[in-house]
């Protein structure tokens, strides 16, 4: 800002964007796409099952593991 300081939110944005080698806008856009994908019932929130599914898919994506088949019939 004009005073030469950065607040926690500003630092977080820069830190995350730099770790991902991307702009904050790109990170924010990807996060929105992911959230909408995981919010399967389109409520604007993630329920427990949606959250667990999201975590599982993200872990598998980063570990290189093959996609899992559905845990639910």
- Integer Cα distance of 47 and 7 in angstroms: 31
- Integer Cα distance of 50 and 12 in angstroms: 25
Intra-chain end-to-end CA distance of the chain, in Å: 53
Task: Please tell me the pTM assigned to this model.
Answer: 0.62
- Tell me: the pLDDT tens digits for 15-53? 788 878 888 888 888 888 888 998 999 998 888 889 888
The pLDDT assigned to 72 comes to 42
């Amino acid at each position: 800002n004009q005073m030469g300081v950065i607040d926690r939110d500003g630092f977080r944005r820069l830190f995350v964007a730099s770790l991902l080698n991307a702009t904050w806008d790109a990170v924010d856009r990807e996060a929105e796409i992911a959230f909408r994908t995981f919010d399967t019932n389109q409520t604007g929130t993630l329920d427990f099952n949606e959250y667990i599914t999201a975590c599982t898919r993200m872990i598998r994506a980063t570990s290189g593991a093959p996609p899992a088949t559905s845990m639910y019939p």
